[in-house]
């Protein structure tokens, strides 16, 4: 049986491979179709992210949610690498650069039960709903606190039938979206 350090090493190698594949194959596409899904029909609060680089773009999704009057939350990274969620009104000038990401100013919300849906980035998703992220564990810790529907955005070819090494802290998502489809995962 492989220990936690071996699984993390395996995941690190996968992340490196998947980042390179994404860099080579990147296409700027839209995931706006997810807002037509039943899970988004009566939302009042959605946690999303401000995409950068070759991540699946959230620009049109975030703009449309704000246009619909939905309270949009973006993550802000804390010194301990946890995430907190801050309301964002869509004003790019209100974001502060933090490494490769842009984070909102303002007070963090604490009512995690009010979050109806969470849109999360991922490098890959397997058929069980396991998300391979960037490796910091920030999203896993944040998702563990939220009961809302969780959907990860991935590019074409990044939804895979190959299982990933999983650790006890890893949080599954309820669905994954490519630019063309939404795959929902059964909870056992």
In the predicted structure, residue 7 carries a pLDDT above the cut 60? no
- Domain ranges for the chain, please list them: 4-184
In the predicted structure, residue 1 carries a pLDDT above the cut 60? no
Rounded to an integer, the average pLDDT of 47-74 is 95
User: What single string gives the DSSP state of each residue in the chain?
Assistant: ---HHHHHHHHHHHHHHHHHHHHHH------GGGGGSGGGTT-SEEE-----TTSPP-HHHHHHHHHTT-EEEEEEE-TTS-EEEEE--S-GGGEEEETTEEEE-SPEE--GGG--EEEEE-SEEETT-BEE-SSS-HHHHHHHT--SEEEEE--TT-EESSPPP--TT--B-SEEE-SS-EEE----
pLDDT tens sequence across 63-73: 999 999 999 99
Mean pLDDT of the chain: 88
Q: Is the torsion defined by CA of 4, 85, 133, 177 positive or negative?
A: positive
Terminus-to-terminus CA distance in the chain, angstroms? 23
Query: What's the pLDDT at 97?
Result: 86
pTM for this one? 0.84
19 vs 116, which has greater pLDDT? 116
Q: How confident is the model at residue 29 (pLDDT cuts 50, 70, 90)?
A: confident
pLDDT tens sequence across 107-129: 999 999 999 999 999 988 999 99
In the predicted structure, residue 132 carries a pLDDT above the cut 90? no
134 vs 57, which has greater pLDDT? 57
The CATH H-level (homologous superfamily) assignment of domain 4-184 is: NagB/RpiA/CoA transferase-like (3.40.50.10420)
């Amino acid at each position: 049986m492989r220990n936690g350090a071996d699984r993390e090493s395996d995941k690190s190698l996968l992340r490196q491979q998947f980042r390179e594949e994404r860099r080579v194959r990147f296409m700027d596409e839209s995931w706006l179709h997810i807002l037509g899904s039943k899970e988004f029909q009566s939302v009042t609060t959605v946690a999303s992210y401000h995409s950068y680089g070759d991540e699946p773009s959230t620009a049109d999704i975030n703009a449309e949610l704000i246009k619909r009057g939905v309270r949009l939350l973006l993550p802000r990274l804390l010194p301990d690498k946890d995430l907190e969620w801050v309301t964002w009104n869509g004003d790019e000038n209100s974001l502060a650069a933090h490494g490769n990401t842009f984070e909102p100013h303002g007070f963090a919300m604490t009512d995690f039960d009010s979050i109806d849906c969470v849109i999360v980035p991922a490098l890959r998703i397997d058929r069980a709903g396991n998300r391979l992220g960037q490796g910091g564990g920030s999203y896993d810790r944040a998702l563990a606190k939220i009961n809302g529907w969780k959907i990860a955005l991935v590019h074409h070819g990044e939804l895979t039938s190959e299982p990933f090494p999983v650790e006890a802290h890893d949080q599954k998502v309820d669905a994954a979206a490519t630019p063309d489809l939404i795959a929902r995962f059964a909870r056992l």
